[in-house]
Amino acid sequence: MDTLNFYRDTIEKILREYANIPYSYGEIEEHLIIDSERNHFLLVDVGWQQKKRVHGCLTHIQIIDNKIWIQRDGIEDGIANDLVNAGIPKSQIVLGFHPPAVRHHTEFAVS
């Protein structure tokens, strides 16, 4: 399997696992949105918590220039370590939610 397909399959598998975890409160559903053509992967919350509308992006991952960019990470323990545990090197993961000047202080790719 080539690298791009490995990345796509790995991201989808991990996000599907998170999408299948039910919320313990409210009437909130997780929706996994995948744009394979442009390599976007989003996990979106939709529903109600009491009388408050819930709608937002929990996680947004992109594949850009053969690297995985985590643009938003609302996963409690962070999704980057899930990617590493699945066999993706830290050198191929960019924490895009950090400013460029801060990224070199992480264990992950700068860009």
Domain boundaries, the chain: 3-19+28-103
Distance from C-alpha of 36 to C-alpha of 85, rounded to nearest angstrom: 23
Q: What are the pLDDT digits (tens) for 63-102?
A: 999 999 999 999 999 999 999 999 999 999 999 999 999 9
Distance from C-alpha of 43 to C-alpha of 30, rounded to nearest angstrom: 7
Distance from C-alpha of 34 to C-alpha of 49, rounded to nearest angstrom: 25
pTM across the whole model: 0.93
- What six digits make up the tokens of 21? 């975890």
Distance from C-alpha of 28 to C-alpha of 12, rounded to nearest angstrom: 20
CATH assignment of 3-19+28-103? 3.30.310.110
Distance from C-alpha of 71 to C-alpha of 103, rounded to nearest angstrom: 13
* Residue 25, pLDDT score: 78
